[in-house]
């Protein structure tokens, strides 16, 4: 049975993926977090969704050239963000990680600048397509489009942390398809050999654009790749914030105390096409997509917080209106922002000598 | 001033940079206890330890990718690719990642990284231990490509490369590792990345070369000097970004240009030099720009007569000089 057919009905997987409404009592995992922290998580999950939805509309209106979505993955993103020390630990993400980036401090304004290709976009100065994230002030390394290139680099950052005796860890993320790349293996193998402080989260949404997991690998669980590396591999429900948080806590603690890297596979789904240029009707049924939409991570988290009383309907309305206001303000800010200029941002910096403060700063 | 071989100068540069800056470390295949297959890192493992002279897994993507990450975190990696022929798996990390990092992040992230790689033929290395890869990388903005041809330059340029805030591909003419000897001062000095060097003044024609071909070109220039032909030899040293001013100055003076390289002829580095000269020194030329290079077969074949056929040598270069002078 293929992963696509077997999941989530498969016995083992059904146990890993939460179905239906939350139980009557808070679980120990929930109780580990203060109400204010839970509301912050919810805020970023909600904000990311509303920013993302607006981006799709802007594309359909012909106002932006491209959008690649993080929709459906947000619970995994929030679990990762709150599983590390934000602003202290380092992150090398991939293009789906919008909610992670917002939780790390990327603002809706900044994301809109990237969609519109305007000056001041912090990842690349609008040189790169949107969602090729990087945010120096939050220790988020610049990323590119060829998949898995970030993995050996993440191992290298972790290697440098270990050489310097720092207590930071590196979080890196990737899709399940990109684990087919040799770069993924080479980077993870380095981290395993040197017991580096690295956590690699595979956001498994079953599709690499159109190619399903069973054409990508002969494994049901990407986490099983960890066995060949000699490191722990964990499967978690990527649509459940608490499952991701729990796995992150173990992995981050292990990394920070010198225990080495962990591979976490977060099972999730992308309810929208790969990008604004994709049409997913050619490779998957509407029934499948609708089934997954019933497990929407925003709805699930919102239902849980409302049931627990952490979130009230008044507070929810306030969150929604704040998110809407921020998104609309960001759109109008970006629409009015200037474009970069060929003879300024176009020409460089190609070399570090062209930047202020570059060079031998520690001398 | 002590005389030493090219490889001794390279080793001394790394030794001094490891001692000078705690951020510097070496990573590559067999660079540790073995001291590298060419012995470039001999003794450094014992002196600086396994933390700073790191034996990597047998995988070039990892060597370069991990070094990029370490550089992003503030260290100064020197990676060794055992033979330039094996650099191709790491092409993506070098070209798509290291070279583009500064531009693609608007200068937020830079990659101070040295990639050392022995290159070139004439050592019975066959197709996969003889390649010249400079043309593939001298097309890549964001990268610097350096090739020393003397021990003095090798030490001084490598020290500059380690201190450079950009990714530097440092290609070493391995045929010359022990053949090329020269004077190298004790202790601290650097040779800047960028400027070419007139290594032999002359008036009748300009021969432009780098690496082992520079040594052969000097020998050829001595030979034809006995016949009354005064060749000016330019050692390019930095291939990218190239020092146009020095090349143009020399060719404007002599009016003739011969470019010597051991890579395949077509699309080789000499093609770019020829284009620069044709573009910017056209009215000063009194002969066609000539290239002497390897033939357009996939790589250097192993068997001795085949290898000799492939490789430029002092005799072939001297003949090319005579032919051009006679135009």
Phi, psi (rounded to 5 degrees) for B209: -155, 175
pLDDT beyond 50 at B26: yes
pTM of the model: 0.96
- What is the reported pLDDT for A12? 47
pLDDT-derived band at A23, boundaries 50, 70, 90: confident
Q: pLDDT class for B1, splitting at 50, 70, 90?
A: confident
Residue A363 has a pLDDT of 44
E strands, A80-175, are 90-92, 170-175
Q: Which residues of B touch A90 (CB under 8 A)?
A: 73
**Segment A190-249, tens digit of pLDDT:** 999 999 999 999 999 999 999 999 999 999 999 999 999 999 999 999 999 999 999 999
Domains of chain B plus CATH, in order, are 3-183 (3.40.50.970), 197-325 (3.40.50.920)
pLDDT in tens, B138-172: 999 999 999 999 999 999 999 999 999 999 999 99
pLDDT at A80 over 80: yes
Is the ipTM higher than 0.85? The answer is yes
**Predicted pLDDT of residue A14:** 44
Candidate from B62, B75, B102 with C-beta closest to A350: B102
Asked if residue A16 has pLDDT above 90, the reply is: no
Neighbours of A289 (CB within 10 A): 16
> Tokens 């240009």, residue?
B257
What are the pLDDT digits (tens) for A51-66? 999 999 999 999 999 9
Name chain B contacts of A163, Cβ cutoff 8 Å.
Answer: 25, 51, 70, 75
CB distance B165 to B98 below 8 Å: no
- B268 with B236: CB under 8 angstroms? no
CB contact under 8 A, B101 and A124: no
B174-227 residue pLDDT tens = 999 999 999 999 889 999 999 999 999 999 999 999 999 999 999 999 999 999
Look at residue A94 and give its three-state secondary structure.
Answer: coil
**Residue A359, pLDDT above cutoff 70:** no
* Mean pLDDT for the stretch of residues A131-158: 98
Predicted confidence (pLDDT) per residue in B270-314, tens digit: 999 999 999 999 999 999 999 999 999 999 999 999 999 999 999
Check pLDDT > 50 for residue B124. yes
Point out the catalytic residue in the list B88, B129, B139, B214: B129
On chain B, the residues whose CB falls within 8 A of the CB of A354 are 102, 107
CA distance B75 to A142: 17
Q: Are residues A160 and B65, on separate chains, in Cβ contact within 8 Å?
A: no
Q: Are the beta carbons of B106 and A146 separated by less than 8 Å?
A: no
**Contact with chain B for residue A117, Cβ under 8 A:** no
Indicate the average pLDDT of chain B: 98
A/B interface, count of CB pairs below 8 Å: 153
The residue of chain A nearest to residue B102, with distances taken between CA atoms, is A350
Instruction: Give B47→chain A minimum CA distance, Å.
Output: 17
B66 min Cα distance to partner chain A (Å)? 4
Average pLDDT estimate for A173-201: 98
Provide the shortest C-alpha distance from residue A104 to chain B (in Å).
17
The pLDDT value recorded for residue B185 is 93
- In chain A, what residues touch B53 (CB-CB under 8 Å)? none
Angle between helices A108-116 and A313-336 (to 10 degrees): 40
**Cβ within 8 Å of A, B 172-231:** none
pLDDT of A6 reads 45
Q: Does the structure show a pLDDT above 70 at A8?
A: no
A347 burial via Cβ count (<10 Å: 0-12, 13-18, 19+)? exposed
The residue in chain B having the minimum alpha-carbon distance to the alpha carbon of residue A181 is B61
Contact predicate B204/B231, CB 8 Å:
yes
Position A10 scores a pLDDT of 43
Which token pair is B265? 């002829």
**B112 pLDDT more than 80:** yes
- Structural domains of chain A ordered from first start: 52-273+289-337 (3.40.50.970)
DSSP at A275: B
Chain B nearest-CA residue for A153: B69
The helix (H) or strand (E) run that includes residue A202 is: strand A198-204
Annotated catalytic sites of A, by residue?
270, 274, 283
pLDDT score for A11: 41
- pLDDT band at residue A357 under the 50/70/90 scheme: low
Comparing alpha-carbon positions, the chain B residue that sits nearest to A191 is: B66
Confidence of residue A18 (pLDDT cuts 50, 70, 90): low
Mean pLDDT (whole number) for B232-255: 98
Closest to A295 in 3D by CA, of A240, A227, A234, A340 = A240
């Amino acid at each position: 049975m293929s992963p696509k057919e077997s999941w989530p009905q498969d016995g083992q997987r059904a146990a890993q993926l939460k179905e239906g409404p939350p139980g009557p009592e808070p679980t120990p995992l929930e109780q580990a977090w203060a109400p204010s922290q839970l509301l912050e998580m919810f805020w970023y999950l909600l904000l990311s969704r509303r920013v993302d939805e607006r981006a799709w509309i802007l594309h359909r209106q012909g106002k932006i050239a491209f959008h690649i979505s993080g929709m459906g993955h947000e619970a995994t993103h929030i679990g990762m963000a709150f599983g590390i020390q934000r602003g202290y630990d380092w992150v090398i993400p991939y293009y789906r990680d919008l909610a992670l980036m917002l939780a790390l401090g990327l603002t809706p304004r900044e994301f809109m600048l990237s969609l519109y290709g305007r000056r001041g976009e912090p990842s690349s100065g609008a040189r790169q397509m949107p969602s090729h994230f990087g945010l120096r002030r939050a220790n988020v390394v610049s990323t590119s489009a060829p998949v898995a290139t970030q993995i050996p680099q993440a191992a290298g950052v972790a290697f440098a942390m270990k050489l310097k005796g720092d207590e930071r860890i590196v979080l890196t993320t990737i899709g399940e398809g990109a684990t087919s790349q040799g770069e993924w293996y080479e980077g993870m193998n380095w981290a395993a050999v040197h017991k580096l402080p690295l956590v690699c989260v595979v956001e498994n949404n079953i599709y690499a654009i159109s190619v399903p997991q069973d054409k990508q690998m002969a494994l049901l669980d990407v986490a099983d790749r960890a066995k060949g590396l000699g490191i722990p591999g964990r499967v978690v429900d990527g649509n459940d914030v608490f499952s991701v948080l729990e796995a992150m806590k173990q992995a981050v603690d292990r990394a920070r105390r010198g225990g080495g890297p962990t591979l976490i596979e977060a099972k999730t789904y992308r309810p929208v096409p790969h990008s604004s240029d994709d049409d997913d009707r050619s490779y998957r049924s509407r029934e499948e997509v609708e089934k997954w939409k019933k497990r929407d991570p925003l709805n699930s988290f919102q239902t849980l917080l409302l049931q627990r009383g952490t979130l009230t309907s008044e507070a929810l309305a306030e969150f929604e209106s704040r998110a809407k206001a921020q998104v609309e303000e960001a759109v109008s800010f970006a629409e009015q922002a200037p474009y970069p200029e060929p003879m300024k941002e176009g020409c460089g910096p190609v070399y570090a000598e062209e930047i202020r403060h570059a060079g031998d700063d520690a001398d | 001033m002590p005389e030493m071989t090219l490889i001794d100068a390279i080793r001394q540069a790394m030794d001094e940079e490891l001692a000078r800056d705690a951020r510097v470390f070496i990573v590559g295949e067999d660079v540790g206890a073995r001291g590298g297959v060419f012995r470039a890192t001999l003794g450094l493992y014992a002196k600086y330890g396994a933390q700073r002279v790191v034996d990597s897994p047998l995988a070039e993507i990892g060597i370069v990718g991990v070094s990029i990450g370490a550089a992003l975190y503030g260290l100064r990696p020197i990676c060794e690719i055992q033979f330039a022929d094996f650099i191709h798996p790491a092409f993506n990390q070098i070209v798509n990642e290291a070279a583009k990092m500064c531009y693609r992040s608007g200068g937020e992230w830079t990659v101070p990284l040295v990639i050392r790689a022995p290159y070139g033929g004439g050592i019975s290395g066959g197709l996969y231990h003889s390649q010249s890869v400079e043309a593939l990388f001298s097309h890549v903005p964001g990268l610097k490509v350096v090739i020393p041809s003397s021990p003095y330059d090798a030490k001084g340029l490598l020290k500059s490369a380690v201190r450079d805030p950009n990714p530097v591909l440092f290609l070493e003419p391995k045929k010359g590792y022990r053949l090329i000897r020269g004077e190298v001062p004790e202790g601290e000095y650097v040779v800047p990345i960028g400027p070419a060097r007139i290594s032999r003044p002359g008036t009748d024609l300009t021969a432009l070369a780098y690496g082992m071909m520079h040594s052969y070109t000097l020998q050829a220039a001595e030979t034809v000097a006995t016949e009354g032909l005064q060749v000016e030899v330019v050692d390019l040293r930095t291939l990218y970004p190239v020092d146009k001013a020095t090349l143009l100055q020399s060719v404007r003076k002599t009016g003739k240009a011969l470019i010597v390289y051991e890579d395949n002829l077509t699309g080789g580095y000499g093609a770019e030099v020829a284009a620069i000269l044709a573009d910017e020194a056209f009215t000063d030329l009194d002969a066609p720009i000539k290239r002497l290079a390897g033939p357009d077969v996939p790589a250097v074949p192993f068997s001795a007569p085949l290898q000799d056929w492939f490789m430029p040598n002092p005799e072939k270069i001297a003949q090319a000089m005579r032919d051009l002078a006679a135009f």
